[in-house]
Chain A
Amino acid sequence: MLFATLLIQNSKGSDMESPLLSIKNLTVDFKTTDSEMRAVDNISFDVPMGKTVGIVGESGSGKSVTSLAVMRLLPQPPAHITGEILFQGKNLLGLPEDEMRKIRGNNISMIFQEPMTSLNPVFKTGAQVAETLMLHRGMDKKTAWEKTIDLFNEVGIPNPSQKVHAYPHEMSGGQKQRVMIAMAIACDPKLLICDEPTTALDVTIQKQVLELLAKLQQEHKMSMLFITHDLGVIADIADDVVVMYRSKMVEKDKTRSIFETSHHPYTKGLIACRPDLGANPKRLLTVSDFMDEEGKGLMVTRERIQVFEKDYAAKNSNEVLLEINDLHTHFPIKGGFLGRQVGEVKAVDGVSFKLQRGKTLGLVGESGCGKTTLGRSILRLVEPTSGQIIYNGQDITKLAAPDMRLLRRKMQIIFQDPYSSLNPRMTVGEILTEPLVVHGLGGSKREQLDAAKMLMEKVGMKANQLNRYPHEFSGGQRQRICIARALMLRPEFVICDESVSALDVSIQAQVLNLLLDLQEEFKLTYIFISHDLSVVNFIADEVGVMNKGKLVELDRADRIYKQPREDYTKTLLGAIPKGLPKNLESFINS
């Protein structure tokens, strides 16, 4: 018995003996003339041969900075790096720049988040991969191109011999990310660093890319360092997980152990805050249910995690607030001499549905399916080509501008990007009172500001922040301001267009809870547009699945998720990352 234990320890020991990458006491400070910020605070972990290590954390937690430090891509100064980064036993921090350049792209490769901007738009995609080969492998042009076609084939790009001649704009987002992967594995790297490689992609494409990465890792016997804010993605791909919070490493363990017996309250919060297809809690748990401001763990009560079966009948009313009949929105494609119309895009192609007052309709679909255009057409921010929009019994499709303006008090929209949807030159107070000014409501300036203060508090912000500017807030806070602005006119109908997609999962849960609270308090009717099916499952009563401008399936939320009828819906559902513990009870005993 003792012998056996020793043996196991021994084999474990030899397994851990020579990790490919070993980070020891890494600390990164950013020093500027008037400020100093610690981005990474004394973290240590190993990436073993042929394994995948995931780094999870929210934006600003230091996970990307860690990966850039490994690549030595942080400009010094302002960055100040201490500690050791051992790659195959060599300390990368001590290497001269020209030696580091040989390692970069050759032994260590990196894939970035945004495939749209990582490729040079003026060169053929094939040429960009071939360049890497010629540079690092010393291949001549002909061999490099042949190898590039092989690589395109390997990463699953259709018609590789033709696609190597395509420019980046001629490819879809998923294909571009495949090109980036081809470029990264071109020189058979030992370590592949993936920095949020699927965050910008649709869920079905994300699944394909993750499968591809897992397959390539097996075949090339690579190690991977996988960075993401989404624990759901990590569960599918990583062997070990490092959890980062406010520049510190709060937990590291085997992926299974992290999900089953995580110790740190932050990790628990992170696992719990992701909406789950299997359960319908009334509210989502958030990180703040597990830990207070100072990072001290809290006990979770049974009441907090209670799971409700949604009572779909309770919200039933016979009052139809919105009725859409055979709505079409087409955009002309201009081309040729003098911009003649050469065709049209049917962004919304014959959509009909009814929405009852007080309910939430979720619209899901991949990018380009027309869900955003549908939302904007309903508000007539984009003019529909034909069809009918009946709001509260009134046909508003052809309503004249002054009447439409009056109606805008009742109908509002919350956008996706909290960075571009607030005017950077206006204070939050000006932004929030603007709706009242436009409609000449709300009495004196002081009364308008009081109304703004009240809503600031309602969305969980402080009333004394009204004289600040948008750039002084984080993404989640800005989205709260956007929500407050939409509610200033006391609307009865709000379209949320991907309103939580740009937020970290932990912030996303808070905003979703807020939207639900506000719906109850202000008796709102929502159309919730999202590409994320689990989010829609959590918030919506009815779900419409869109594909190519058409509503392919529309049903009660639970039926869509339990018995999808259409193949397209099944594909979408199958692509959602799995591997999270389904049992909320496990959060109770710490």
Chain B
Amino acid sequence: MSSQDTRSLWADAFSRLVKDRWALISLLVVVTYALVALMATLGIGMPDWRSSLGIEYLAPSGEFWFGTDLFGRDVFAKVIHGTKIAMSVGLITSLIAIPIGVVIGALAGYFGGWVDDIISWFITTFSSIPNIMLLISITLIMGKGLLSVYLALGMTGWVGLARLIRGEVMKHKEREYVQAASALGGGHYRKLFVHILPNVTHLVIINTSLQFQTAIKSEVILSYLGLGVQGEPSWGTMIDDARMELARGVWWQLAGATLAMFIIVLAFNILGDALRDALDPKLKGK
């Protein structure tokens, strides 16, 4: 370490991350998907999936990269729209699940005692119900549609994160730097938010990258079962459509949706692993 330049653990982690070639590629993939989804949402420069541009079931060609469907619509355009749906599900469910998970986990881990008893009971009960059953019942109660998918996934996605944060906060609470903060007269707010939480944030980031792809997969399953997205294409509904088409040798709708999903899920997995390696502060300090 040279005497002049100084680096925070975050800067250190970032430079470790970009040194990993696969992590960098995965990061680029994720950014590309996010850009596509953003542009599709804003309606800029993305192909139109609504109108019939050709005849039914055209095989992939220069004009229609992924062919056309029953109504002669461009499958590539549908994949793009599916990307928008998938990314929005990932983003919104993370935005719902992460604050719940962090707050609940941190409260349980920090205060312990009866607070922890109640929250732990709640977490255990919640996670003992099979996830897909819970998702289906929530969408059945609230009605089908994208909104239900957001809420259902958001409300079930926090459990793992809460448990992780709870354990980590418990560990850090006993560290001497937190005790030093008490000795200096710092209150609960300062200890929890200024000292402990910044030291567990890396777990939130790692968890988000895995949460994101779980949400994408769950949306596909829900839509495939007909409980999810209604009246617009998503990867799930496309795979559902493809059930009938496969018998007629029409494979491109299935291939397009699966490939799009495969790439983003793989990218998130690699990125999650790389983030864990880059952010793990256990490697630092000694």
* Cβ of A314 under 8 Å from chain B: no
* Cβ of B1 under 8 Å from chain A: yes
Residue of A nearest to B286 (CB): A419
C-alpha gap A342/B199 in the complex (Å): 35
Of A379, A425, A439, A482, which is within 8 A of B9 by CB? Answer: A425
* Cβ of A394 under 8 Å from chain B: no
Given A424-B284, A438-B190, A471-B284, answer yes or no on A409-B176 (Cβ-Cβ < 8 Å).
Answer: no
Are A485's CB and B180's CB within 8 A? Answer: yes
Of A381, A416, A469, A470, which is within 8 A of B182 by CB? Answer: A381
Residues of A within 8 A of B190 (CB): 438
Residues of A within 8 A of B285 (CB): 419, 424, 470-471
* Cβ of B22 under 8 Å from chain A: no
Residues of A within 8 A of B10 (CB): 425
Chain B residues 1-44 with CB under 8 Å of chain A are 1, 6-10
Chain B residues 157-205 with CB under 8 Å of chain A are 175-177, 179-187, 190, 194-195, 198-199
Q: Chain B contact residues: over half helix, strand or loop, or mixed?
A: helix
Residues of A within 8 A of B9 (CB): 424-425, 469, 471
Are B180's CB and A472's CB within 8 A? Answer: no
Q: Chain A contact residues: over half helix, strand or loop, or mixed?
A: loop
Residue of A nearest to B177 (CB): A423
* A contact residues, range: 35 or more
* Cβ of A412 under 8 Å from chain B: yes
Interface size on B, residues (CB 8 A): 27
C-alpha gap A412/B1 in the complex (Å): 32
Residues of A within 8 A of B199 (CB): 423-425
Residues of A within 8 A of B1 (CB): 472
Are B177's CB and A379's CB within 8 A? Answer: no
Q: A-B pairs with CB below 8 Å: how many? A: 82
C-alpha gap A121/B194 in the complex (Å): 35
C-alpha gap A411/B184 in the complex (Å): 9
Of A409, A421, A468, A469, which is within 8 A of B180 by CB? Answer: A421
Residues of B within 8 A of A470 (CB): 285
Residues of A within 8 A of B182 (CB): 381
Of listed A408, A417, A423, residue having the most chain B CB within 10 A: A423
Residues of A within 8 A of B176 (CB): 415-417, 420-421
Of listed A417, A434, A486, residue having the most chain B CB within 10 A: A434
C-alpha gap A69/B269 in the complex (Å): 38
Quote the shortest CB–CB distance from B258 to chain A (angstroms): 38
Residue of B nearest to A466 (CB): B6
Are A472's CB and B6's CB within 8 A? Answer: yes
* Cβ of B281 under 8 Å from chain A: yes
Residues of B within 8 A of A408 (CB): 183-185
Residues of B within 8 A of A423 (CB): 177, 181, 195, 198-199
Chain A interfacial positions (CB closer than 8 Å to B)? 376, 379, 381, 405-406, 408-409, 411-413, 415-417, 419-427, 434-435, 438-439, 467-472, 482, 485-486, 489
Q: Which 8 pairs across A and B sit closest by C-beta, in order of nearness?
A: A421-B176, A408-B185, A415-B176, A425-B198, A405-B185, A435-B184, A423-B177, A468-B6
Task: List, sorted by A's number, 6 A–B pairs whose CB atoms are closer than 8 Å.
Answer: A411-B183, A420-B176, A424-B199, A426-B198, A438-B181, A438-B190
Having A408-B185, A472-B7, one finds 6 other A-B pairs with CB under 8 Å, namely A411-B183, A412-B184, A421-B175, A421-B180, A425-B8, A489-B184
